[in-house]
Structure 1
């Protein structure tokens, strides 16, 4: 027999004395639609979850397991799983092992204990994450994996619920039945996070307008967030009567109460297509995680009070009161489960683990899938246009050729976007495909992530780059990580259009002139494109949609606001920055460079506004006999540095013009890559923005590269070397 841990003492004492707490309610099983076999099954799921928690601590003490945040005290969520269908998508709290174990009983050929133990020991054979994290997830069980979620999964659950009806309306065949509901569970501490509040608001905002939102939000309220108590009544006071929501509550320590309340929640959400908030009161046992000593912040009285409400004790009491199992039968099940998990654990620690960087990184990029694009039928406009118009034309084509494309963002529909890029698209394709969202970037990105779970490809718009920063974890922690943590079984393909960068002639200050792109370039697997002209904008956008559709990638289009409507290059009326539509087949693949000029005296490597400024500077320098070439990076991640080297290797000097900040900038990567390829340091220089926010008014461009600054830097460099020669 497995040696008991101190955390088992209370249950073993009750088992020895056959003395169990009285269940809080006295329902008859038949009155709630639960038979004795069903109650035993739920209890077995609870036992399995508890013994996994206990054995994880044993393995951690031996250095064989690495993550012991557990489900002890929350095992009542097994009853919620039983109330749902196994095809209902479930975005789970990290304390929901009993839910996953119970759901696995509804699908043939599942091995949840083995799977979870492989996850505990970070084995490469873990069927969901491949050893990358201890997560609750399963493709067969419709449970996308979540890591240490602190409310970050709520926005995408909201998006997934909204996307159920939308996918059906658009005729996009997904894996989820049309009448499904989406479940999302989280803790009472996470309820207070701004991400959770944003998702709650977005779901209620939609439901208040009678938009279908079949979503069940389960707040597993154990009364404490690590060491910070949740005020008594706080969750209920916030959610009772909240617009758009139906509020239900249950005692999560009582299987029967949880079962019948969960069935009611599912019935309401499925029939009314309305969000339900299920408040499940429970307890937290064993502390927050394996390393947490809760005695440091909880009194012995508080700890004992929680232990007295242990759901395993109450479930055993239910089994005894209803005459379903006797004491010996409960003891047999308890010890047999402990022994089984211990034996499986010994096998699990001998299974292979990730051993190379290549193995770890293998699932950052999702697998490919067939294209769903249709042939475009229409005529192109012949007149050269600025960037905003070129993007608008491309979006019209893409929406026509890809019925699975859905656009969403603030003001993109009726208004046509702040800068007119999405004008008339809603009128043509309908409000269900060009969605005017509420003002909440977390919800916009979460909506897109959720839509992608149903086979849709969202094109999301963030009005200004500065507005992304309060929501960037939806890209970093959710969209870009899903393939990594699911071993490529799940992905969040999307295109995110972000208006940004500087040079708006003083408009808006740093909230509208933002040149901070470091966070986007630091996310593994995320691709960032930045056009400098209308033709490239079309080519990059069309490639971005192809990447999302066929390669399931997350792609950001960083669009320079100052170039949206820029028509002229050197003189007023010259139309030098208008370009003809390159057509529906024009795509600029990742790493493809642009080049202007063939001069070998100097190469300028740049992007976005820097290309426009460098073209103007080149005209002035040409009058002084300085011939140069301009290399447009176009893609700001996954840069093809070999191609950059080939493009500049024959030039005497190389200047990197970077409109973003000097520290942590793109120019650092470009310079480093050239040095690594043998380019001498004295041939290299960079001109960047200062490490500053952008002010308002005429001072707005003082910290940014300028035409005059480029000309002066090149003149000083080239003419200085000429005079020395």
Structure 2
């Protein structure tokens, strides 16, 4: 099928010609040697004045990509001079990084306050350099990404593909990924193919992937975060322990060089593993094969499908070439001794399981292992027995047949034979004694030594499993396969929990506020994660990321102009200015097409409080070095920075071929990497072309597999991940909270309330009841935080949060800047980090400034991740109109249509004080249990109301239930409350919010006329309490809907539609507000619902 589409082959013809034309090196260099730094423009950091250059950077703690550990960064600035002590963005010394409560935070280089020593080589200097082998691995990531770009167009060309990644020209982000730790949470834009490939390869050895159709949903009670096994056991100085089984013995004080033995006559290189795991103060990330959860953490993050546990020393792990233990590599030259483990008798069948834990994707039930369905080539026809070409596919043309042509992944040359470079060896090919690759090992640390055996084998080794795993993920997303590991066919996203890659929407810059919130939350959790009691320790919320993780967030140059991005930059700078630490590395991939020339540079450099770095994405070495400096600066100082990465966009329009012809030779990052490797003497152009063709072959093979996979077929499948509802668990969570409040936490609770719990304080107003419920919520949920404009210092604009900061401190109750997008962004990040955020939006009218943060980001996260990620939150909003029009249209608002339209969003509207507390407890429990995103819409006009029918009657006050009554008074999501007035048999009034107060007063007046009324308080606008509505409507046969929102798009429309859909056949009528903004003063009463309108509507309904 794919072979029938020829356009992509035309598109990459020029690229292939350029690769083949690269001049062969005069002398081969060992791949273990460094790839020299590129020269010329764009190869270093921004040429700033000396007082603004980055500080010396520690070695980036990054995991190996396919078995290799990248080198440490250069502590010097672009011109080689040592960088001064870091200053703020304007050149002035940074403020003292104190906590908001005045306590000084320990240096963030370690979680225990001890300073981590600067890493240094033997001469006291560190340098961010790439070895040839490491650069060759990154070249693989780049070409896989390039082939995925082509595959997206192939698939779209015959109607099977629905999305492309458009990453061509942006493959320089592979070097950015390599400079980071694989446990650093990443939020990626849609051109991040190479970054995703590198991250997948970094993590391949760290965990076992689930089977293709396995659920990625976490355990029921676990916050959906990267699994615990992605963390690493840390030594005293918060650096990572080195493990034994996949590392080689290291020479004295040079931990990054491999102890090498003399090559044996057959060209094998000997690598001796460590006997024991030895911690090292300046080591990088623990080798993924031995990564284990932090034993000191009480986080009960269940390692569900998709996470996998780290392996202990001696336990087999799967690397690019096959399963290995910590036993020394056999170098006897004996074909039997050197065969791939698991291959019986040296035969050519690769019996490795797929990295996801199930059969390899090229194994088909009913066919020999390792042989996918297809036409098998007979023995002697150019392929080993059992090899084949998949149906409908052919090898791409070129000077050299790609590695893998005519042979499936996993086949092996028979004993005594070998596959020389460029001759079409199958992916996974292993040669027995007599020449060829080092048996079973594709990692370059050990293999890239000696000529011709070790280095040659590295040049001929197959594309790594991690890259192919990433390619399979992306292709499944392109064709909307239900087996796509994160979104499950709902969208094409870059994201996977085990890779710490958080899915993002395609909305320009909309996820940047979340990145800022996540950075702030990671720092805040370090202070919250100190429980006072054993009970607190058992229930402490801990982040699934390491304490010194940083957040990386990439975006395009056009997004710099987006309001969401501007809000994120402003919030990051504001936090830095006020002394709040926020470890976020923004990465702007600037291809120059989304903004005028020079604008992006000026916009990014001028951001206060954000450190600026710049690199040329076409220079792999320079990009890696600058990215390493940037991430190290952010990691050490816990302050924001931006990496401005110059890129180019290729193959993204109809005129792609002409565009590529003009810029490829100068700007193509993949070709630039190839030129660097060839000119350095590591490989030939033909060898790289062979790798490029092999990547294309493998990607097309995976594309054909993805095409045949099932799609989402039923609405229930689409909705399964939207917003889980587990009311029994929520009810149990409320009961458990009550038991704690009445039992072990009773003394602490009494102290928090100043010795007088609210149940002993007498009847409360709506505002007082919410304040008491927030206090109980903060007591019970150790990760809960209340924040917003003036919520701490002034108790909020309506006094609802008064006294909370005094009770819980500024780490949990704090003020924010006046920007609703940033407030919700902080909540998005906090929820993702494992906290339970309760942000406040002062006015409903202000919420409309930031609606997309709720719609596209908050409510959509579980939908885009099949529940693997979630951002629980309870957003408190003072809303609905006041009768006197106080504040006018810029504050008062009575429109909730945009909220009710958001799938999965929970909307609660408490009207009475005795409903507000239990409803808020339900929202907090639902957020904690189900990851729900709740909007708690509080009628501002009723905050301080005390009376109902007559002045001084106190009928609108309510008692606060003692903890022993919480379970019995639990208010489930989607259940209404019914009041009977008079006989309650004549008419049913359905209403909410302020309408409850007005309807009860109107019902009292109707009762004086002999008309009995049922008043139904919806309490929940989403989901609507449909069952309760039908029951109460059917009881009278006459329904009056009192809707204080606008007639068009108001709540009343939804209520009437729900009744009709459920089969209600009685009479119905609406009373709603006029389609108008809320005016100032008495004029508001002319367009809003009134008591007179309600009584008149009831009489009209009865007169029919």
Please confirm whether the aligned pair reaches a TM-score higher than 0.5, indicating the same fold.
Answer: yes
The one of 184, 195, 201 aligned to 2:564? 195
Moved more, 83-92 or 164-173: 164-173
Query: How far, CA to CA, are the matches of 1:303 and 1:396 in structure 2?
Result: 65
Corresponding residue of 1:575: 954
Corresponding residue of 1:710: 1094
Query: How far, CA to CA, are the matches of 1:678 and 1:55 in structure 2?
Result: 50
Deviation at 1:352, TM superposition (A): 1.1
Kindly report which structure 2 residues correspond to 1:456-535, keeping only aligned pairs within 5 A, or say none. 456-535=835-914
Deviation at 1:238, TM superposition (A): 1.9
**Residue 698 in 1 paired to residue 1082 in 2?**
yes
Deviation at 1:16, TM superposition (A): 3.2
- Greater share of residues in helix: 1
Corresponding residue of 1:646: 1031
Task: Answer yes or no: is the 8 Å Cα contact 1:134–1:147 preserved in 2.
Answer: no
Query: How far, CA to CA, are the matches of 2:1064 and 2:549 in structure 1?
Result: 59
Task: Answer yes or no: is the 8 Å Cα contact 2:23–2:685 preserved in 1.
Answer: no
Query: How far, CA to CA, are the matches of 1:504 and 1:222 in structure 2?
Result: 53
1:150-181 C-alpha deviation (Å, 9 max, x unpaired):
10010000000001111121113221000000
CA distance 1:303–1:247, change in 2 (3 Å) = farther
Secondary structure at 1:558's aligned position in 2?
strand
Task: Answer yes or no: is the 8 Å Cα contact 1:219–1:279 preserved in 2.
Answer: yes
CA distance 1:601–1:127, change in 2 (3 Å) = same
1:497-553 C-alpha deviation (Å, 9 max, x unpaired):
010001241211112220110111011110001011111111111110010011110
The one of 7, 10, 22 aligned to 1:6? 10
Corresponding residue of 2:934: 555
Corresponding residue of 1:186: 555
The one of 683, 693, 699 aligned to 1:335? 693
Query: How far, CA to CA, are the matches of 1:58 and 1:130 in structure 2?
Result: 22
Secondary structure at 1:161's aligned position in 2?
helix
Kindly report which structure 2 residues correspond to 1:134-145, keeping only aligned pairs within 5 A, or say none. 134-145=492-503
**Residue 267 in 1 paired to residue 271 in 2?**
no
Superposition TM-score, scaled by structure 1 size = 0.94
Kindly report which structure 2 residues correspond to 1:86-165, keeping only aligned pairs within 5 A, or say none. 86-107=182-203, 108=205, 109=355, 110=466, 111-165=469-523
Moved more, 300-309 or 640-649: 300-309
Task: Answer yes or no: is the 8 Å Cα contact 2:184–2:500 preserved in 1.
Answer: yes
Superposition TM-score, scaled by structure 2 size = 0.62
1:695-722 C-alpha deviation (Å, 9 max, x unpaired):
011111211110111112223333x35x
Kindly report which structure 2 residues correspond to 1:203-602, keeping only aligned pairs within 5 A, or say none. 203-225=572-594, 230-287=595-652, 292-293=653-654, 304-305=662-663, 308-366=666-724, 373=737, 375-376=740-741, 377=746, 378=750, 379=757, 380-584=759-963, 585=966, 586-597=969-980, 599-602=984-987
Secondary structure at 2:635's aligned position in 1?
helix
1:73-107 C-alpha deviation (Å, 9 max, x unpaired):
00000001111111000000110010010111111
* Count of matched residue pairs: 707
Query: How far, CA to CA, are the matches of 2:548 and 2:931 in structure 1?
Result: 26
Secondary structure at 1:56's aligned position in 2?
helix
Corresponding residue of 1:45: 141
Query: How far, CA to CA, are the matches of 1:294 and 1:387 in structure 2?
Result: 63
Secondary structure at 1:576's aligned position in 2?
coil
Name the larger-Rg structure: 2
Deviation at 1:610, TM superposition (A): 0.5
Secondary structure at 2:1022's aligned position in 1?
coil
1:161-215 C-alpha deviation (Å, 9 max, x unpaired):
0011111211132210000000000001001001000000000100112211110
1:388-424 C-alpha deviation (Å, 9 max, x unpaired):
1110111111111111101111111010000000001
Query: How far, CA to CA, are the matches of 1:45 and 1:665 in structure 2?
Result: 51
1:465-488 C-alpha deviation (Å, 9 max, x unpaired):
010111010010001011011111
Deviation at 1:69, TM superposition (A): 3.7
1:318-348 C-alpha deviation (Å, 9 max, x unpaired):
1111111112211111111111111111111
Query: How far, CA to CA, are the matches of 1:494 and 1:146 in structure 2?
Result: 18
Task: Answer yes or no: is the 8 Å Cα contact 1:366–1:491 preserved in 2.
Answer: no
CA distance 1:507–1:303, change in 2 (3 Å) = farther
Q: What stretches of structure 2 of length at least 5 have no aligned partner?
A: 25-36, 45-69, 72-126, 206-354, 356-465, 530-540, 751-756
Query: How far, CA to CA, are the matches of 2:1033 and 2:1099 in structure 1?
Result: 19
Task: Answer yes or no: is the 8 Å Cα contact 1:23–1:317 preserved in 2.
Answer: no
The one of 655, 664, 667 aligned to 2:1049? 664
Moved more, 100-109 or 84-93: 100-109
Q: What stretches of structure 1 of length at least 5 have no aligned partner?
A: none
Deviation at 1:302, TM superposition (A): 9.2
Task: Answer yes or no: is the 8 Å Cα contact 2:1040–2:1101 preserved in 1.
Answer: no
Query: How far, CA to CA, are the matches of 1:239 and 1:351 in structure 2?
Result: 44
Task: Answer yes or no: is the 8 Å Cα contact 1:170–1:404 preserved in 2.
Answer: yes
Query: How far, CA to CA, are the matches of 2:867 and 2:882 in structure 1?
Result: 40
1:10-56 C-alpha deviation (Å, 9 max, x unpaired):
31221232269x96549999953211111001110000000000011
Secondary structure at 1:216's aligned position in 2?
strand
Query: How far, CA to CA, are the matches of 1:714 and 1:35 in structure 2?
Result: 82
1:209-257 C-alpha deviation (Å, 9 max, x unpaired):
22111100000000113xxxx1222122122253211100000111111
Deviation at 1:587, TM superposition (A): 2.9
CA RMSD after TM alignment: 2.1
CA distance 1:47–1:301, change in 2 (3 Å) = closer
CA distance 1:626–1:104, change in 2 (3 Å) = same
1:432-484 C-alpha deviation (Å, 9 max, x unpaired):
10120001101100100101122100001111001011101001000101101
CA distance 1:327–1:300, change in 2 (3 Å) = closer
Query: How far, CA to CA, are the matches of 1:8 and 1:19 in structure 2?
Result: 20
Secondary structure at 1:365's aligned position in 2?
coil
CA distance 1:303–1:501, change in 2 (3 Å) = farther
Query: How far, CA to CA, are the matches of 1:687 and 1:550 in structure 2?
Result: 37
Deviation at 1:492, TM superposition (A): 0.9
1:536-586 C-alpha deviation (Å, 9 max, x unpaired):
111111110010011110010011000001111122111111111134424
Deviation at 1:355, TM superposition (A): 0.8
Query: How far, CA to CA, are the matches of 1:185 and 1:411 in structure 2?
Result: 32
**Residue 632 in 1 paired to residue 1001 in 2?**
no
Query: How far, CA to CA, are the matches of 2:772 and 2:725 in structure 1?
Result: 30
1:339-368 C-alpha deviation (Å, 9 max, x unpaired):
111111111111111111111111001487
Deviation at 1:294, TM superposition (A): 5.1
Corresponding residue of 1:15: 19
Deviation at 1:648, TM superposition (A): 2.5
Task: Answer yes or no: is the 8 Å Cα contact 1:410–1:438 preserved in 2.
Answer: yes
Moved more, 664-673 or 626-635: 664-673
Corresponding residue of 1:170: 528
**Residue 619 in 1 paired to residue 1004 in 2?**
yes
Task: Answer yes or no: is the 8 Å Cα contact 1:25–1:257 preserved in 2.
Answer: no
Query: How far, CA to CA, are the matches of 2:674 and 2:921 in structure 1?
Result: 60
Task: Answer yes or no: is the 8 Å Cα contact 1:283–1:306 preserved in 2.
Answer: no
The one of 1069, 1073, 1078 aligned to 1:689? 1073
Task: Answer yes or no: is the 8 Å Cα contact 2:821–2:850 preserved in 1.
Answer: yes
